């Protein structure tokens, strides 16, 4: 044994040194060629009385072969004489073992020695098999892989579904597999023709899914991995396929709006770090990591998508896996398949529901009402009131007279503008997709092109996306070396309309303001109104501002089978985004808002990230053991450069003219850069025993340029175990209805380093000032000479206090899961429980102001705990009448709470830590404020109530919760005063649970999908309410129609405070009045499709065709009762976001 | 056996793979910050000048949420002005300050102001640290620049002191965790004043008499500021903000210091009061003792304009926004004069309201009225063709129409620039103008019972004012109001006792500096804020209803509260001001 090990060590070392030498070369970016070997190597040896051991070593030294044997079986101390010249290795071996019972078998570079007869049984008689593979409808299935079980040899069906294999053992078993189909095994058993029909399988246990740096059989997974049905992504009429994930994967929460570009916020298991920190998942597209711009990927290109939710699954991506990892593999060509796919859809979008705002008369009326309520003489810059008091002193409005013009310069006649109608129109969306694939045993290729255009429901918004992809691979060395690339290109043109402003302005701009003035200029605010823009002008004056971005995203890879089951893979990826934007600001006069500035700002950003990863992967399977080992390294570098130039003073305001060169004044420019890098090593072991006991372990060590020398590296281990109970005989034999039962348990650690690149450094910068409109000037330049004109000297200001001790933020996650399938997988499901604790959270907390400027410092401060439960259920059946029904649903829930914060930063978060109401134990997003406890109904109530500045009849009563005792200590007992001490926890915007329900029906070519999605228990801060309910908070704006139903002595049932002009009760304060139930249930998707029968399509030489009609967001159910009912339009999308439209889509998918 | 063999081989390959990579790591993960400098790189003479420049720049780092012109802190809190804007909710934090009673330590804009003032302190400290370390040989300006930094730091602390009373004293020796150990009550109020005085004393000692740069203080600037500090110190207050005594020796120092400034020959009153409020005249000012230097077309993206006043323009097409800082009816009325004597109507001014129209011919007025407040029907900013109209006001129902005019500039001024939707100008913001120095002297003299020496000073101010009507004419050349003012002539139109002189001096300060961000701190210094303001609220709320909740609590509202956030961040080390 000793000899064996020493030999192995020595020889392996040589081999390893060769390999690592090569990898080292990689590191310095040298070209690389792995040492070649050849079974045809010829040797000359002349050694007498040499031990067999030495002889074998000699052969290993001179060739790439290596030996494997047991010293108990092979007597290697035996001496032999070898005299050979220019002989092949087998010939030499024949010589050495002549006359012994030792035989050898060459497998790649491995030569195994053993007793004759123990080597694989004598090769049996070989024969040929051929046949045809079809799908359940009888159509031929091209591209099905037909493999001799237990080997890698096999073939692929041709375009007619035919295959042919020769030279196979008679007792062989053939495996037929095709993505999306159940893998079928057929014993050859002497047959020469085997025709099979593959049946579809949504997510089969044998399906191979991508996991970190490799693939795994779904049955063998031990981590919490959500597999996405990518078909659903393709037909979702949206600019971002991640939106279609809403409610589809338990534990994945997607928040969207309706903007054409398809913005979506994705949270896996509630995120892992503090609000404001980096909670986005990491996307790995064909091995290249990215965290942004996911919408630039063409959904049609996606072959598979996996969501690695827990640490044991994600930890192999340790450095950035805290928030989960979404693995995306793009499609490839298939050997033997030559196919053209064309798909297209057209969508009409419309406003689901608009907010009700006052018209011009109503706006005048509520102003009058408020003044009457305040005991004032109603007056207005716009409205002239004719009113009187009746005998009982009740004021009655007789008439509102409008002036001929509402502005002093007499250009705006009073109007009754419905601003929301002026800024919106039906939107139109289309997608055209063409995919060409081709492939042979020598390689495959895929070419795809996509055009997507979405002009949303806000006028002039438009998003155009062109994407192209080339994925190809080439096989060399009899398939042992595979070289390929995945390359995508995207170009996006987006019209930069300031949507948030437009949405807000359509609510607040007064209806009496006309869109245009009488002199064809813009309408706009008149005196007495708030200084807010005409939203139509904002749209019209920005529609020429188109941002252009282009992105190249892809990788080159080489995969070499070093020896059987041992693969080396090198993958070099780039992610290059370039954005060019020319923004033109036109002069305008819009009411009293006037700008005499014509300006062009041209800016450009360059964002380059490259990733280079090298992995060694070894798979071994023998009897009951299956082992997979992976080792690798990865280097990532990201660089960012930006610059801009601007000029003013354009004599013509036209986008053909307004380039920098034409500007005559205010020549300005600016620019900056940033860079960061990561270097990582990782390893993984998967082991399965008896196909039922599964073990997976990963470890990753990551270094980040964002941390100082001492803490540059973090180590992220993970372990997981799985037990496939259903493979145990006590279940197999006794509980046959259980087709799958697996217990999973995992634990792991992941990291986060998403902070400022320069957080470890104390830095100073020159600052020539900012746009002071909304931000505080923080400049360092000063007109010290008092000359007022010409360049002025500048200095430096401190930007940040460095923290050289910064280290990785770490999340530890434990996951317990159960997968089950009943009645031959008719019913499937899984349950996962997780607990995630993030510590050393990187925060840049607010600080004591006395430190002055640049006192901000990143620290490893907070801890956050998230725990949750996820449940997925599915039911598939086929009725006798041919109707196929598939139901699936998921529900997930999590709770997020801060478990630790340094004392001195507690005040940076909600709460009142000085009085025992710190955010600890609450979500960092928790809402904290006053409890609005209805309205004072009469003076007696007011008088009897605690001291509350501004309290009066019709005003909100705030709960008196607590106060200070004689010792100045806070006690939870009303103290007769409503003040800041009475603030308390009001709610949590994190939903209590999220759910989705899919209903799929299919019958004779028809298919129907209904998808419902909802959240429950989310508390929404409805900012809109400041404007829809109050005439006092922003006196100069328009208000919601809710103000018409405000409390009055004759409308005492109302919950809306009495109208007033002055907010003396400070009702704009953060209170439960604005906190509403954000729960909703939406019919996200309803689709009806029809696959046109093949016999019809055959006439037009189309192999398959499907047409469908689809509606999205057809209805929404929200809370409409109770004091916390949602009073806005869409609880999913509160406040001033781009409204989510209702859509109707017509689509077609064709295969040629 | 085979299994073991292979596993071991793989294990070894892993190990080797890991080991061989380490050599590559060092430089790969070592990335330097971009577009910035480190602290060490700033210790060169050129860069130290840069640090000094940054400390000056903070004077001009402005925003309408915390203006350096101080109008929200001293004008709307003194009965001179209303907040203005689009109703009480528009920057409601200023509305809380205006009404006192509803203001709280959680007012975020007071926290903003506190922070910005400490930014000013920190910039001085950053410069001082480096100045202290460099040798005179390497940096011949060392002493001068140190004195300048003390001056600027003294200015920031003067503001902190008058705003918040009890403040932590942070100098250049405080570093790292020490910041959290400096309490706002470590020094008594008196000790804080002495610290502030010492900052300016350093300027008096070390600054040269002449500075080539207009923006830098000289010896006399430091004397003037020191005089101001000593004047504030002279009104000694107890722990409840009551003025308990007036310190004569400090008053004498005020007289000495102001005399030195006056006799330096460096400063003089402008011949026309208007010039103080016009960029083109103010540029090479004789009246400005110390000012924030504003600039336009200076190579920075938006200029270094007076952002603190950018909401204070009216709503007409030439401007457009936002109608903040509106003169009160009380202030308007106070410009009335006795038609016979030409002196103020100390007791009866508020008996009737002056409104636009005939009131300006039937009453008689101090000339300064039309420099200070815009009145519908009268020219705006001295332009007879540019008539201010009622329609230019933003929220006339709530706040009336008397827009502030001193800080705004004519839209045709080369100093004026739109920053859509707002606008601003590069006119310097005076921190001390010479008239102030004169009136400090007068004030000290009166409190020293030397009111007869104060009389000519007050009359000098009045004489300049009554000679400043040249620009106050309509298109026909007629005066905008019926101006009738005269100097104080004891025995002729008044009896010049100490009390009378004090009343006259205080009135004069109001007329002279109305809407310039000064008044509230005068009221507090004199110890009369509570009485004065509650009387103001009682009457003014009948004219402007939103003031009905206005109430000043004596012993509390004389200073702003220590921002609650800062108390929290200090973990309770900071103590809240009395009454809050």
Q: B77 in helix, strand or coil?
A: coil
Q: What is the pLDDT of residue B13?
A: 60
Contact B28, B269 (CB under 8 A): no
- Angle, CA A464 vertex, CA A463 and CA A468 arms, to 5°: 140
Strands A984-987 and A970-971: unpaired
Q: How many Å apart are CA A1079 and CA A1084, to the nearest integer?
A: 15
* A52-62 vs A89-96: helix crossing angle, rounded to 10: 180
The lowest-confidence range among A968-972, A1100-1104, B81-85 is A1100-1104
List the single range of A110-119, A540-549, A827-836, A1124-1133 with lowest mean pLDDT.
A110-119
> How far apart are the C-alpha atoms of B82 and B84, rounded to whole Å?
5
Output the pLDDT for position A321. Answer: 82
Tell me how far apart the 2 most distant CA atoms of chain A are, in Å. Answer: 134
Higher pLDDT, A1151 or B25: A1151
Distance (Å, whole) CA A355 – CA A604: 38
Q: What's residue B196's pLDDT?
A: 98
**Bigger pLDDT: B295 vs A107:** B295
Does the N-terminal peptide bond of residue B421 adopt cis geometry, omega within 30 degrees of 0? yes
Q: Please state, for a pLDDT cut of 90, what percent of chain B lies above it.
A: 82
pLDDT of residue B2: 47
Band the pLDDT of B406: cuts 50, 70, 90: very high
The reply to whether B555 touches chain A by the CB within 8 Å rule is: no
Q: Which of A596, A666, A772 sits opposite B63 (nearest CB)?
A: A772
- Picking from B24, B296, B391, the nearest residue to A27 by CB comes out as B24
Q: What is the phi/psi pair of residue B255, to 5°? A: -60, -45
pLDDT tens sequence across B86-108: 888 889 899 999 999 989 898 99
Cβ–Cβ gap B126/A798 under 8 Å: yes
Question: Parallel, antiparallel, or unpaired for β A282-285 and A325-330?
Answer: parallel
What's the mean pLDDT when you consider all of chain B? 93
Measure B447 CA to nearest chain A CA, in Å: 36
Q: List, for residues B495-523, the tens digit of each pLDDT value.
A: 999 999 999 999 999 999 999 999 999 99
**Euclidean distance between CA atoms B402 and B380, whole angstroms:** 11
Residue B475, pLDDT above cutoff 90: yes
Asked if residue B76 has pLDDT above 50, the reply is yes
Q: Give ∠ CA B183-B186-B188 in degrees, rounded to 5.
A: 135
Tell me which DSSP letter residue B352 carries: S
- Which residues between 686 and 715 in chain A have a beta carbon less than 8 angstroms from any beta carbon of chain B? 703-705, 712
- pLDDT at residue B10, as a whole number: 55
The answer for A730, left when phi > 0, alpha when psi is -120 to 50, beta otherwise, is alpha
Residue A797 contacts B where some CB pair is shorter than 8 Å? yes
Q: What is the pLDDT of residue B24?
A: 55
**Mean local confidence (pLDDT), B10-34:** 64
Q: Is B575 on the interface with A (CB under 8 A)?
A: no
Q: What is the DSSP string of A550-585?
A: EEEEEEEEEEEEEETTEEEEEEEEEEEEEEEEEEEE
Instruction: Express the helix, strand and coil content of chain A in percent, nearest 5 each.
Output: 15, 45, 40
**A643 touching chain B per CB within 8 A:** no
Confidence (pLDDT) at A16: 40
pLDDT at residue B239 is higher than 50 = yes
Query: Nearest to residue A1040, comparing CAs of A1055, A1048, A1029, A1031?
Result: A1029
Gap from B499 CA to chain A (nearest CA, Å): 39
Q: Which residue of A has its CA nearest to B217?
A: A784
Q: What is the per-residue pLDDT across A882-901, written as a single tens digit (0 to 9) for each?
A: 899 999 999 999 999 999 99
Nearest CA to B536 among B257, B350, B381? Answer: B350
Secondary structure of residue A1047 in the 3-state scheme? coil
Secondary structure class of B510 (helix, strand, coil)? helix
Residue A7 CA to its chain's centroid (Å): 50
How many angstroms separate the CA of residue B301 from the nearest CA in chain A?
6
Q: What is the pLDDT of residue A206?
A: 67
* Residue A547: its H or E element: strand A546-563
Q: b/e for B26-53, b at 16 or more Cβ within 10 A?
A: eebbebebeebbebeebeeeebbbbbbb
Q: Which of residues A142 and A646 earns the better pLDDT score?
A: A646
What residues of chain A lie within 8 A of the CB of B421, using their CB? Answer: 531, 533, 593, 595, 773
Confidence at residue A272, expressed as pLDDT on a 0 to 100 scale: 85
B118 touching A (Cβ < 8 Å)? yes
B288 in contact with A at a CB cutoff of 8 Å?
no
Interval A588-611: pLDDT, tens: 999 888 888 999 999 999 999 999
Residues of A in contact with B422 (CB under 8 A): 773
Sign for the CA dihedral angle at B31, B33, B35, B41 comes to negative
The whole-number average pLDDT for the span B374-384 is 96
Q: Give the pLDDT band (50/70/90) at residue A8.
A: very low
Query: How far, rounded to the nearest angstrom, does the alpha carbon of residue A241 sit from its chain's CA centroid?
Result: 10
User: Under an 8 A CB cutoff, do A622 and B3 touch?
Assistant: yes
Helix (H) or strand (E) holding A597: none
Q: Average pLDDT of A1128-1132?
A: 86
CB contact under 8 A, A788 and B296: yes
Task: Say whether the ipTM exceeds 0.90.
Answer: yes
Q: Do residue A779 and residue B116 have CB atoms under 8 angstroms apart?
A: no
Q: What is the mean pLDDT of residues A148-165?
A: 77
Torsion sign (Cα): A158, A164, A168, A171? positive
Please tell me the predicted confidence (pLDDT) of residue A10. Answer: 42
Mean pLDDT over B213-232 rounds to 97
Q: Is A1117 on the interface with B (CB under 8 A)?
A: no
Residue of B nearest to A588 (CA): B420
List chain B residues with CB under 8 Å of A758: 33-34, 36
CA distance B329 to B81: 8
Mean pLDDT, residues A767-789: 88
Inspect the interface and report whether the beta carbons of B87 and A1035 lie closer than 8 Å: yes
Q: Which residues contact A34 (CB under 8 A, 6 or more apart)?
A: A19, A22, A560, A562, A568
Taking 70 as the threshold, does the pLDDT of residue A489 lie above it? yes
Confidence tier at A28 by pLDDT (50, 70, 90): very low
- Residue A1 scores a pLDDT above 50: no
- Contact (Cβ atoms closer than 8 angstroms) between residue A196 and residue A186: yes
CB contact under 8 A, A796 and B51: yes
A693-704 and A1142-1151 as β-strands: parallel, antiparallel, unpaired?
unpaired
Residue B412: the pLDDT is 95
pLDDT of A36 above 90: no
Handedness of CA A1071, A1073, A1074, A1079 (dihedral sign): positive
The gap from C-alpha A878 to its chain's centroid, in whole angstroms, comes to: 35
| Residue of B5, B130, B429 to mutate for A, most A C-beta atoms under 10 A | B5
Q: Which of A143-157, A584-598, A920-934, B455-469 has the highest mean pLDDT?
A: B455-469
Asked if A158 and A142 touch (Cβ cutoff 8 Å), the reply is: yes
Q: What is the arithmetic mean of pLDDT over B524-541?
A: 97
pLDDT of residue A104: 80
Nearest-neighbour CA in chain B from A140: distance (Å): 43
Mean pLDDT to the nearest integer, A904-925: 86
- pLDDT at residue A29, rounded to an integer: 33
Confidence of residue A205 (pLDDT cuts 50, 70, 90): low
Q: Which of A592, A766, A846 sits opposite B320 (nearest CB)?
A: A592
Contact residues for A569 (Cβ-Cβ < 8 A; gap 6+): A557, A558, A559, A560, A614, A615, A616, A617
Side-chain half-sphere of B478: how many Cα atoms within 13 Å?
7
Q: Is the pLDDT of residue A11 over 50?
A: no
| In chain A, % of residues over pLDDT 90 | 47
Q: Closest approach of chain B CAs to the CA of A566, in angstroms? A: 9
Sequence-distant contacts of A411-414: CB under 8 A, at least 24 apart: A411/A517, A411/A518, A411/A519, A411/A521, A412/A513, A412/A514, A412/A517, A412/A518, A412/A523, A412/A524, A412/A526, A412/A591, A413/A514, A413/A518, A414/A360, A414/A382, A414/A512, A414/A514
Classify A665 as helix, strand or coil.
strand
Q: Which of B310, B549, B565 sits opposite A907 (nearest CB)?
A: B565
Determine the pLDDT at residue A173: 82
Rounded percentage of chain B residues whose pLDDT exceeds 70: 95
The answer to whether A1071 touches A932, Cβ cutoff 8 Å, is yes
Contact A904, A883 (CB under 8 A): no
Specify the pairing of strand A339-350 against strand A427-440.
Answer: antiparallel
Lowest mean pLDDT among A301-305, A865-869, B433-437: A301-305
Lowest mean pLDDT among A78-87, A413-422, A530-539, A948-957: A78-87
Strands A162-169 and A1075-1077: unpaired
Would you give the end-to-end CA distance of chain A in angstroms?
Answer: 62
Residues 944-963 of A with CB under 8 A from B: 949-950
What was the pLDDT predicted at B4?
46
* Of A450, A451, A453, nearest in space to A429 by CA: A453
Q: Flag the least confident range among A139-153, A717-731, A842-856.
A: A139-153
Does residue B157 belong to the interface with chain A, where contact is any CB pair within 8 Å?
Answer: no
**Highest mean pLDDT, choosing among A231-235, A618-622, A1142-1146, B528-532:** B528-532
HSE-CB at B326 with a 13 A cutoff on CA atoms is 33
CB B229 within 8 A of CB B160: no
pLDDT tens readout for residues A48-107: 888 888 888 778 777 777 776 766 677 777 888 888 888 888 888 888 888 788 878 776
* pLDDT for residue A121: 41
Band (pLDDT 50/70/90 cuts) for residue A124 is very low
In terms of DSSP bridges, do strands A66-68 and A693-704 run parallel, antiparallel, or are they unpaired? unpaired
Residue A1040 reports pLDDT greater than 90:
yes
Give the pLDDT confidence of A954-971 residue by residue, as tens digits.
999 999 999 988 888 899
Contact (CB<8Å) B60/A1035: no
Query: For residues B282 and B275, is the Cβ–Cβ distance under 8 A?
Result: yes
Q: Is the pLDDT of residue B111 over 70?
A: yes
pLDDT, residue A33, reads 32
Say whether A95 sits in a helix, a strand or coil: helix
Per mean pLDDT, which range of A555-569, A867-881, B24-38, B528-542 is the poorest?
B24-38
- What is the average pLDDT score of chain A? 86
Of chain B, the end-to-end C-alpha distance in Å amounts to: 82
* Smallest Cα distance from A707 to chain B, Å: 9
CA distances from B329 to A375, A852, A914, B82, B365 (A): 21, 40, 42, 9, 14
Q: Are strands A162-169 and A154-156 parallel, antiparallel or unpaired?
A: unpaired
More confident residue, A1127 or B535: B535
Please say if the pLDDT value at position A200 is more than 70: no
- Mean pLDDT on A972-983: 90
Phi (first) and psi of residue A1105, to 5 degrees: -150, 135
| Structure confidence at residue B15 (pLDDT) | 52
Distance CA A219, CA A931 (A): 52
Binary contact (B86, A768; C-beta < 8 A): no
């Amino acid at each position: 044994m000793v000899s064996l090990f020493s030999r192995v060590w020595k020889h392996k070392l040589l081999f390893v040194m060769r390999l690592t030498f090569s990898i080292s070369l990689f590191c310095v970016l040298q070209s690389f060629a792995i040492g070649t070997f050849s079974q045809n190597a010829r040797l000359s040896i002349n050694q007498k009385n040499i031990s067999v051991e030495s002889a074998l070593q000699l052969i290993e030294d001179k060739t790439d072969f290596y030996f494997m044997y047991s010293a108990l079986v092979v007597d290697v101390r035996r001496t032999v004489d070898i005299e050979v010249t220019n002989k092949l290795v087998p010939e030499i071996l024949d010589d050495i073992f002549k006359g012994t019972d030792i035989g050898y078998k060459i497998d790649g570079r491995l030569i195994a020695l053993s007793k004759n007869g123990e080597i694989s049984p004598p090769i049996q008689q070989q024969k040929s098999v051929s046949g045809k593979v079809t799908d359940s409808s009888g159509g031929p299935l091209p591209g099905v892989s037909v493999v001799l079980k237990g080997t890698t040899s096999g073939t692929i069906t041709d375009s007619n579904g035919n295959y042919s294999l020769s030279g196979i053992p008679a007792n062989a078993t053939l495996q037929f597999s095709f993505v999306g189909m159940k893998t079928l095994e057929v014993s050859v058993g002497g047959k020469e023709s085997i025709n099979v029909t593959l049946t579809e399988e949504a997510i089969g246990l044998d399906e191979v899914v991508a996991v970190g740096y490799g693939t795994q059989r779904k049955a063998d997974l031990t981590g919490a991995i959500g597999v996405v049905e990518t078909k659903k992504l393709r037909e979702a009429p949206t600019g971002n396929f991640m939106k279609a994930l809403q409610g589809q994967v338990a534990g994945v929460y997607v928040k969207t709006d309706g903007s054409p570009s398809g913005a979506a916020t994705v949270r896996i298991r509630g995120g892992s770090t503090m609000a404001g920190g980096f909670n986005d998942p990491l996307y790995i597209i064909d091995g290249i990591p990215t965290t942004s711009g996911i919408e630039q990927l063409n959904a049609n290109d996606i072959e598979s998508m996996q969501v690695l939710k827990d640490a044991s699954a994600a930890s192999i991506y340790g450095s950035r896996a805290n928030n989960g990892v979404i693995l995306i593999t793009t499609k490839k060509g298939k050997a033997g398949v030559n196919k053209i796919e064309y798909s297209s859809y057209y969508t009409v979008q419309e406003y689901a529901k608009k907010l009700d705002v006052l018209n011009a008369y109503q706006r005048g009326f509520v102003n009058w009402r408020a003044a009457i309520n305040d005991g004032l003489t109603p007056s207005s810059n716009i409205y002239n009131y004719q009113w009187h008091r009746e005998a009982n002193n009740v004021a009655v409005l007789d008439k509102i007279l409008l002036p001929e013009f509402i502005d002093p310069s007499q250009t705006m006649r009073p109007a009754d503008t419905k601003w929301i109608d002026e800024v919106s129109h039906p939107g139109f969306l289309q997608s055209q997709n063409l995919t060409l694939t081709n492939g042979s045993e020598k390689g495959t290729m895929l070419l795809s092109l996509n055009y997507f255009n979405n002009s949303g429901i806000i006028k002039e918004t438009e998003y155009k996306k062109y994407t192209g992809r080339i994925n190809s691979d080439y096989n060399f060395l009899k398939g042992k070396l595979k070289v390929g690339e995945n390359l995508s290109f995207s170009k996006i043109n987006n019209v930069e309309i300031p949507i948030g402003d437009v949405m807000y302005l359509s609510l607040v701009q007064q209806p009496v303001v006309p869109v245009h003035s009488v002199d064809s200029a813009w309408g706009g605010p008149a005196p007495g109104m708030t200084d807010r823009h005409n939203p139509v002008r904002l749209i019209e004056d920005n529609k020429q501002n188109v941002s252009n971005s282009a992105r190249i995203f892809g990788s080159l890879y080489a995969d070499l089978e070093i020896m059987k089951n041992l693969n080396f893979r090198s993958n070099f990826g780039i992610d290059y985004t370039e954005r060019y934007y020319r923004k033109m600001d036109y002069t305008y006069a819009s009411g009293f808002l006037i700008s005499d500035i014509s300006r062009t700002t041209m800016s450009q950003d360059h964002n380059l990230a490259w990733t280079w990863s090298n992995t060694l992967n070894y798979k071994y399977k023998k009897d009951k053991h299956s082992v997979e080992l992976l080792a690798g390294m990865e280097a990532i570098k990201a660089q960012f450069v930006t610059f801009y130039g601007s000029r003013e003073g354009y004599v013509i305001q036209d986008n053909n003219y307004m380039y920098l060169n034409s500007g005559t004044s205010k020549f300005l420019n600016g620019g900056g850069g940033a860079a960061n890098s990561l270097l990582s090593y990782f390893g993984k072991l998967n082991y399965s025993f008896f196909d039922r006991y599964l073990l997976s372990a990963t470890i990753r060590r990551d270094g980040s340029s964002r941390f100082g020398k001492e803490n540059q590296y973090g180590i992220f281990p993970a372990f997981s175990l799985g037990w496939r109970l259903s493979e145990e005989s006590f279940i197999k034999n006794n509980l046959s209805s259980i087709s799958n039962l697996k217990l999973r348990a995992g634990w792991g650690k992941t990291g986060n380093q998403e902070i400022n690149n320069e957080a470890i450094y104390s830095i100073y910068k020159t600052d020539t000032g900012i746009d002071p409109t909304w931000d505080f000037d923080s400049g360092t330049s000063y007109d010290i000479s008092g000359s007022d004109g010409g360049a002025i000297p500048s200095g430096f200001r401190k930007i940040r206090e460095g923290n050289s001790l910064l280290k990785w933020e770490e999340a530890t996650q434990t996951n317990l899961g159960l997968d089950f399938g009943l009645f031959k997988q008719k019913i499937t499901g899984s349950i996962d429980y997780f607990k995630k604790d993030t510590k050393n959270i990187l925060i840049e907390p607010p600080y004591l102001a006395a430190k002055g400027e640049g006192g901000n410092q990143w620290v490893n401060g907070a801890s956050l705990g998230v725990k949750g439960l996820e449940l997925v259920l599915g039911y598939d059946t086929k009725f006798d009448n041919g109707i196929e029904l598939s139901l699936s649903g998921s529900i997930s829930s999590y709770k997020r709470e801060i478990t630790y914060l340094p004392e001195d930063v507690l005040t940076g978060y909600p709460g009142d830590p000085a009085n025992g109401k710190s955010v600890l134990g609450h979500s960092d997003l928790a809402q904290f404020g006053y409890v609005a406890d209805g309205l004072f109904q009469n003076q007696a109530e007011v008088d009897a109530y605690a001291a509350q500045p501004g309290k009066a009849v019709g005003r909100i009563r705030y709960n008196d919760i607590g106060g200070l005792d004689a010792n100045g200590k806070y006690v939870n007992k009303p103290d007769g005063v409503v003040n800041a001490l009475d603030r308390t926890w009001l709610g949590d915007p994190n939903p209590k649970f999220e759910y989705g329900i899919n209903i799929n029906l299919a019958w004779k070519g028809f298919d129907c999908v209904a998808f419902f999605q909802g959240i429950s228990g989310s508390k929404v801060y409805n900012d809109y309410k400041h404007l829809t309910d109050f005439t006092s908070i922003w006196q100069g704006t328009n208000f919601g129609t809710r103000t018409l139903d405000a409390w009055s002595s004759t409308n005492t049932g109302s919950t809306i405070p009495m109208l007033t002009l002055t907010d003396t009760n400070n009702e704009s304060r953060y209170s439960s009045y604005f906190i509403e139930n954000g729960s909703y249930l939406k019919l996200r998707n309803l689709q009806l499709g029809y696959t046109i029968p093949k016999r019809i399509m055959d006439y037009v030489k189309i192999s398959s065709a499907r047409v469908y009609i689809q509606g999205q967001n057809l209805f929404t159910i929200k809370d409409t009762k109770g004091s916390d009912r949602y009073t806005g339009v869409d609880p999913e999308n509160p406040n001033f976001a781009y409204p989510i439209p209702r859509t109707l889509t017509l689509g077609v998918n064709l295969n040629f | 056996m085979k299994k073991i063999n292979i596993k071991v081989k793989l294990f070894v390959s892993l190990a080797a793979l890991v080991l061989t990579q380490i050599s590559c790591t060092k430089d790969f993960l070592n990335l330097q910050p971009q577009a910035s400098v480190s602290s060490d790189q700033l210790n060169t003479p050129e860069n130290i000048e840069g640090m000094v420049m940054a400390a000056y720049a903070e004077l001009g780092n402005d925003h309408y949420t915390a203006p350096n012109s101080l109008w929200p802190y001293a004008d709307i809190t003194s009965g001179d002005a209303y907040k203005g804007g689009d109703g009480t909710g528009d920057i409601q934090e200023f509305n809380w300050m205006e009404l006192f009673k509803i203001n709280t330590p959680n007012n975020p804009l007071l926290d903003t102001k506190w922070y910005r003032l400490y930014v000013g302190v920190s910039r001085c400290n950053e410069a001082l640290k480096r100045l202290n370390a460099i040798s005179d040989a390497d940096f011949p300006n060392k002493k001068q620049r140190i004195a300048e930094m003390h001056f600027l730091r003294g200015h920031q602390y003067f503001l902190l002191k008058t705003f918040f009373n009890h403040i932590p004293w942070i100098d250049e020796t405080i570093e790292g965790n020490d910041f959290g150990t400096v309490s706002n009550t470590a020094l008594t109020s008196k000790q804080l004043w002495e610290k502030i005085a010492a900052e300016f004393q350093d300027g008096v000692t070390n600054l040269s008499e002449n500075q080539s740069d207009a923006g830098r203080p000289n010896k006399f600037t430091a004397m003037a500021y020191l005089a101001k500090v000593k004047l504030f110190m002279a009104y000694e207050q107890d722990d409840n903000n009551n003025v308990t005594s007036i310190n004569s020796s400090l008053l004498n120092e005020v007289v000495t210091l102001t005399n030195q400034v006056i006799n330096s020959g460096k400063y003089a009153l402008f011949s026309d009061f208007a010039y103080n409020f016009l960029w083109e005249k103010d540029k090479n000012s004789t009246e400005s003792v110390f000012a924030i230097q504003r600039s336009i077309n200076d190579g920075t993206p938006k200029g270094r304009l007076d952002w603190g006043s950018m909401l204070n323009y009216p709503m007409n097409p030439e401007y457009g926004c936002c109608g903040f800082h509106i003169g009160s009816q009380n202030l308007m009325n106070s410009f009335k004069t006795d038609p016979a004597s030409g002196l103020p109507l100390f007791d009866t001014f508020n008996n009737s309201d002056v409104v636009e129209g005939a009131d300006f011919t039937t009453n008689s007025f101090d000339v300064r009225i039309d420099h200070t407040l815009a009145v519908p029907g009268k020219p705006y900013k001295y332009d007879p063709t540019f008539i201010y109209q009622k329609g230019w006001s933003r929220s006339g129902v709530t706040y009336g129409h008397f827009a502030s005019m001193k800080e705004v500039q004519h839209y045709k001024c080369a100093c004026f620039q739109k920053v859509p939707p707002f606008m601003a100008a590069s006119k310097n913001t005076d921190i001390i103008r010479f008239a102030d120095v004169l009136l400090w002297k007068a004030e000290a003299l009166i409190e020293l019972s030397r009111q007869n020496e104060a009389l000519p000073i007050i009359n000098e101010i009045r004489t300049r004012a009554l000679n400043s009507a040249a620009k106050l004419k309509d298109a026909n050349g007629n005066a905008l109001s019926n101006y009738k003012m005269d100097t104080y002539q004891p025995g002729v139109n008044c009896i010049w006792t100490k009390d009378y002189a004090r009343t006259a001096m205080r009135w004069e300060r109001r007329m002279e500096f109305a809407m310039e961000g000064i008044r509230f701190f005068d009221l507090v210094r004199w110890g009369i804020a509570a009485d004065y303001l509650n009387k103001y609220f009682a009457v003014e709320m009948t004219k402007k209803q939103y003031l009905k909740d206005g109430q000043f609590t004596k012993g509390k509202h004389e200073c702003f509260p220590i921002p609650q956030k800062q108390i929290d961040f200090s973990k309770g080390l900071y103590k809240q001001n009395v009454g809050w």
